[in-house]
């Protein structure tokens, strides 16, 4: 049974893993289907024909506002941000050879939270986002610099990342306790990640970012699959460890920064996409595309759930775990029953 084939054009060839492609395809189709569903749901449910009419120019002003200004950008942002988180999470987990790894391990989330709070406390709510980005990037850079020892050593990076992450999380908690109730509540919502009030600028930003970074990530998948092996073996196979790790780290951080800049530090997506994808795709491969589609799906579902919930307005960040965790749990059970570990 052929599980993999290749595409050869002249001297160039690309490996095609059949199961990986099928999984990514199915998930993509799911994303599309849910998107169509999502556009209809919300506080003002709309039927599909009405939506199509609005898209093609007809339809009243309210429908236009809902579909074009509100839902469509939000859905597209969710898909894009989820994909970015998925990519980044899978990349870090593969590179660091640790299923618990995520971009958080390099302190990005904690740094972003701190930066956001500092921005809020010092300059007001317009500086929440820039503060978050600066905080996150600075922290990632600091962790890299502090752990640099003749290149990137995964274990060292993880330990220093933990130290930085925990310290900054604690600092963030400290700052939160200093805020007044109202601001604290507002910040609490942002810190959980939200897709409220996304507009077309967000959509353009995330998708252009993906356009640039995704090819790089896929290019790096080749090196990444070798980095997953022990250092000695990877070196023996001719992989230059540190440059490869640095490239993966930088790309991963860029993807996370991109995603955080549009949806805030949405929890859990980056962490869970990789493990789910790898269990769907099977075999030991980074499965970046599958992880991205899983991430997009979870984020889209989370946002849709947040919007469609009657009565109460909960941020999407609450739903990412509620949706993602059971999927992983189910996959673990299924594999258990099949006798796999």
Partner 1 sequence: MHTQTKPIAIVNVMDNRLFALGLVVLGLALLSVLALRFGLRSMGFTDIWASFVAFDPLNASHIVVQEIRLPRLVAAVLAGASLGMAGALMQGMTRNPLADPGLLGVNAGASLGVVICIMLLGVTNPASFIWVALGGGFLASLIVFFLGGAGRGSPARLILAGAAVSALFLAISRGLLLISQQTLDVYRFWVLGGFDGAQFSTIIALAPFFGIGALLAGLATFSLNALILGQDTAKGLGIRVGLAQLLVGLAIVVLCAATVAMAGPIAFVGLIVPHLARWIAGPDMRWMVGFSACLGACLLVAADLLGRLAIFGGNMQAGVMAALIGGPVLIWLVRRHGVHKL
Partner 2 sequence: MVEPARLRAEALNVGFNRVPVLRELSFDVPDGKTTVIVGPNACGKSTLLRSLARLERVGAGTVILDGKSIQKQSSKSVAKRLAILPQTPTAPEGLRVKDLVARGRTPHQSPLRQWSVDDARAIEQALHMTGLTDSANRALDTLSGGQRQRAWIAMALAQNTDILLLDEPTTYLDLTHQIELLTLVQKLNQETGRTVAMVLHDINLAARFADQIVALKDGKVRHQGTPDQVVTADIMQDIFDLPCTVIRSPVHDHPLVIPA
Residue in this structure with the two tokens 């993509």, named with its chain if needed: 28
| Rounded distance between C-alpha atoms, residue 227 and residue 246, angstroms | 12
Question: Is position 156 an interface residue for partner 2 (rule: CB under 8 A)?
Answer: no
Query: Burial level of 217, CB count in 10 A (0-12/13-18/19+)?
Result: buried
Q: At its nearest, how many Å lie between partner 2 and the CB of residue 292?
A: 18
Question: Is position 329 an interface residue for partner 1 (rule: CB under 8 A)?
Answer: yes
Question: Is position 219 an interface residue for partner 2 (rule: CB under 8 A)?
Answer: yes
Question: Is position 158 an interface residue for partner 1 (rule: CB under 8 A)?
Answer: yes
Question: Is position 13 an interface residue for partner 2 (rule: CB under 8 A)?
Answer: yes
Binds 314: which of partner 2, partner 1, none (CB < 5-8 Å by kind): partner 1
Question: Is position 228 an interface residue for partner 2 (rule: CB under 8 A)?
Answer: yes
Q: At its nearest, how many Å lie between partner 1 and the CB of residue 215?
A: 30
Question: Is position 29 an interface residue for partner 2 (rule: CB under 8 A)?
Answer: no
Indicate which single residue of 30, 53, 162, 216 sits in contact with partner 1 (rule: CB under 8 A). Answer: 162
Q: Which is nearer to partner 2, 252 or 267 (CB)?
A: 252
Cα dihedral value 307, 311, 312, 313, nearest 10: 30
The span of 17-25, 62-70, 235-243, 311-319 binding partner 1 (CB under 8 A) equals: 311-319
Q: At its nearest, how many Å lie between partner 1 and the CB of residue 144?
A: 13
| Rounded distance between C-alpha atoms, residue 152 and residue 248, angstroms | 11
Binds 65: which of partner 1, partner 2, none (CB < 5-8 Å by kind): none
Question: Is position 284 an interface residue for partner 1 (rule: CB under 8 A)?
Answer: no
Question: Is position 6 an interface residue for partner 2 (rule: CB under 8 A)?
Answer: yes
The span of 100-108, 232-240, 253-261, 320-328 binding partner 2 (CB under 8 A) equals: 232-240
Binds 44: which of partner 1, partner 2, none (CB < 5-8 Å by kind): none
Q: Which is nearer to partner 2, 14 or 159 (CB)?
A: 14
Question: Is position 153 an interface residue for partner 1 (rule: CB under 8 A)?
Answer: yes
Q: Please report, as ranges, the residues that interact with partner 2 according to CB under 8 A.
A: 6, 8, 11-15, 97, 219-223, 226, 228-230, 232-233, 235-240, 282-284, 341
Q: Please report, as ranges, the residues that interact with partner 1 according to CB under 8 A.
A: 98-101, 105, 146-147, 149-150, 153, 155-156, 158-160, 162-171, 173-174, 177, 192, 267-268, 271-272, 275, 312, 314-315, 318-322, 324-326, 328-329, 332-333, 336, 341
């Amino acid at each position: 049974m052929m599980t993999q084939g290749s595409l050869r054009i002249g001297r160039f060839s690309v490996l095609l893993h059949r199961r990986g492609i099928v999984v990514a395809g199915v998930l993509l189709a799911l994303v599309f289907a849910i998107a169509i569903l999502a556009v209809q749901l919300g506080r003002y449910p709309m039927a599909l024909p009405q939506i199509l009419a609005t898209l093609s120019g007809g339809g009243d002003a309210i429908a236009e506002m809902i579909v074009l200004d509100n839902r469509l950008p939000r859905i597209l942002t969710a898909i894009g941000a989820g994909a970015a988180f998925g990519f980044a999470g899978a990349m870090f987990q593969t590179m660091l050879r640790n299923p618990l790894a995520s971009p958080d391990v390099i302190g990005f989330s904690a740094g972003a939270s701190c930066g956001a709070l500092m921005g809020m406390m010092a300059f007001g709510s317009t500086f929440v986002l820039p503060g978050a980005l600066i905080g996150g990037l600075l922290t990632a850079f600091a962790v890299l610099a502090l752990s640099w020892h003749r290149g990137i050593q995964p274990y060292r990076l993880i330990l220093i990342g933990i130290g930085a992450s925990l310290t900054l999380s604690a600092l963030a908690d400290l700052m939160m306790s200093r805020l007044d109730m109202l601001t604290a509540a507002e910040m609490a919502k942002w810190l959980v990640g939200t897709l409220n009030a996304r507009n077309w600028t967000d959509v353009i930003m995330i998708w252009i970012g993906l356009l640039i970074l995704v090819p790089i990530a896929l290019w790096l998948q080749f090196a990444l699959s070798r980095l997953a092996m022990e250092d000695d073996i990877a070196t023996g196979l001719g992989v230059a460890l540190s440059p490869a790790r640095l490239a993966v780290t930088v790309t991963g951080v860029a993807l996370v920064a991109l995603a955080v800049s549009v949806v805030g530090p949405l929890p859990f997506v980056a962490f869970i996409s990789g493990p789910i994808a790898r269990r769907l795709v099977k075999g030991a491969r980074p499965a970046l595309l599958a992880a991205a589609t899983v991430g997009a799906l979870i984020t889209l579902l989370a946002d849709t759930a947040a919007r469609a919930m009657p009565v109460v307005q909960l941020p999407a960040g609450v739903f990412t775990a509620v949706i993602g965790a059971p999927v992983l749990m189910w996959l673990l059970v299924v594999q258990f029953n099949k006798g796999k570990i």
